[in-house]
Chains A and B, each alone.
Chain A
């Protein structure tokens, strides 16, 4: 294996770690309600929102 191949595999490994972190974050217990919230919200999108603030 030359240095290019090791680099290629290194990038793969790095991306895998990033991916594992995303999975851990998404499935955190504390994140459960927040993580599922968009699927309920999208059911009602007939009109644009009047206000610009996400919390309103």
Chain B
């Protein structure tokens, strides 16, 4: 334990470092598979094919980079907001080990082709069972820390943290219910349309409980810390939190519009998805209004730039998402490259920008030093922003063109283009996406180098200081 501050911070360092390792893996594999789409000859069966590598990319990104850093910041934030040290640092240490074992096992089993064929729930039952153990350890430690807290009323970030812990547990258990037939194969406990409904109830709430509530917890904590000014309205944060929780649960079926699930379930999902704009934008405005009188910090404070652009992408994401949930719009963009455009504005724009800021803020403090290079951090910002925008915008244009071609009909009602003709048109966009990915990767490498140097300088300073 880092006793200097009285908080258990060594474990936070471990999670931050490992999440960055998995983040690098995710982006490297992501860039590689973008090249595989553009240049199919880069597929090397059986292990290095797009089909095997794509789930490795998403699992490393969402679970390795995302969950890994959420674990770091939940531990960091919870201790500070409760003004008490972590309930069990030893348990957290075991959690870090198990986390890395699980992610490594996920990568190996997916490369070997073991896959439940459920998106974001691909891991076969032995690995999925370890995930459950991991989550229980994590949740118990955080909840017990909150229980022994020394502040009565909880700051908004703690509400988001608790929602994540409970939400992920429920979603994961329900959607992973399966009947094992061997050590490496299981079948879902649900069948047909029910299975699809459960899967997308899980899938969209993974967006809610993994890609929304944790970064919001982190955003609400680090924005005031970075600006030095409290958030605009705590009560607005609380109301937005409860409405977000209330609405998200019903939206999963917007992934199944026009599919054979009951019509009213689709309509309900559509309605709640549109209503979600309200709580989402309440968070966005809370962020913007917190900047009243502070907008000059966008120029002077690189952390604020990451955070405000992050919440802006969240805002755009939560306008685009509800539009995609409307039947007519969905019919147009579903099954097109529009969707990866949406996904990556969320993951590379919203989630990652907020995480970068949180890492830049915490690492120098954890190692009692300054960040190694602010100009490098600024360069990192512009590279990842440019890479992500090239990626997303290219995919939206590609998606619209693809949708228009897929929908084009002749006067007799037959399709105007064959499927392969629609595919062939997409190559220029796929080259652009790969280029955007390379730019993003360059930004990420700069970030990793900056953090590496910050840590080594911090350690060197600590070594020369008298004990």
Contacts and interface: CB of A to CB of B under 8 A. Distances in A.
Nearest to A52: B150
21 contacts: A1-B264, A5-B262, A9-B268, A12-B250, A16-B246, A19-B246, A31-B235, A32-B235, A36-B235, A38-B151, A39-B155, A39-B156, A43-B224, A43-B225, A43-B230, A46-B5, A49-B83, A49-B84, A54-B149, A54-B150, A54-B151
A-B pairs with lowest CB-CB distance, top 9: A54-B152, A45-B80, A49-B150, A38-B155, A49-B83, A39-B234, A39-B230, A35-B235, A48-B6
B388 interface: no
Given A48-B6, A48-B85, A42 B154 contact: no
Interface in B70-113: 79-81, 83-85
A1 B264 CA distance: 9
A47 interface: yes
B309 interface: no
Given A19-B243, A38-B155, A42-B221, A26 B238 contact: yes
A55 to B, nearest CB: 8
A27 interface: yes
B39 interface: no
Contact of A38 (B80, B85, B234, B239): B234
A45 to B, nearest CB: 4
Contacts of A7: none
B224 A22 contact: no
A23 B242 contact: yes
B242 A19 contact: yes
B136 interface: no
Interface string A10-47: 00100110110011001100011011111111110111
B355 to A, nearest CB: 20
B387 to A, nearest CB: 33
Category for how many chain B residues contact A: 35 or more
B231 interface: yes
Given A5-B264, A45-B81, A34 B239 contact: no
A19 B154 CA distance: 18
Given A5-B264, A47-B6, A48-B150, A26 B239 contact: yes
Contacts of B422: none
Interface in B149-170: 149-157
B7 interface: yes
A38 B155 CA distance: 5
B328 interface: no
A36 B80 CA distance: 18
Contacts of B230: 39-40, 42-43
Contacts of A12: 250, 268
Given A15-B246, A16-B246, A48 B79 contact: yes
Contact of A39 (B84, B148, B224, B242): B224
B161 to A, nearest CB: 13
Interface in B194-242: 221, 224-225, 228, 230-231, 233-235, 238-239, 242
Given A23-B242, A42-B81, A43-B224, A48 B7 contact: yes
Given A23-B243, A38-B153, A39-B156, 11 more contacts: A12-B268, A31-B235, A32-B235, A38-B156, A42-B80, A43-B225, A43-B228, A43-B230, A46-B5, A47-B5, A54-B152
Nearest to A37: B153
A22 B155 contact: no
Interface in B244-269: 246, 250, 262, 264-265, 268
B233 A42 contact: no
A8 to B, nearest CB: 8
A38 B246 contact: no
A26 B7 CA distance: 31
Contacts of A27: 235, 239
A52 to B, nearest CB: 6
Given A48-B83, A49-B150, A42 B235 contact: no
A8 B81 CA distance: 37
A31 B234 CA distance: 12
Contacts of B80: 42, 45-46
B77 to A, nearest CB: 9
Contacts of B228: 43
B151 A35 contact: no
Contact of B84 (A1, A22, A48): A48
B190 to A, nearest CB: 15
B233 A36 contact: yes
Contact of B234 (A8, A36, A53): A36
A48 B79 CA distance: 8
A23 B85 CA distance: 32
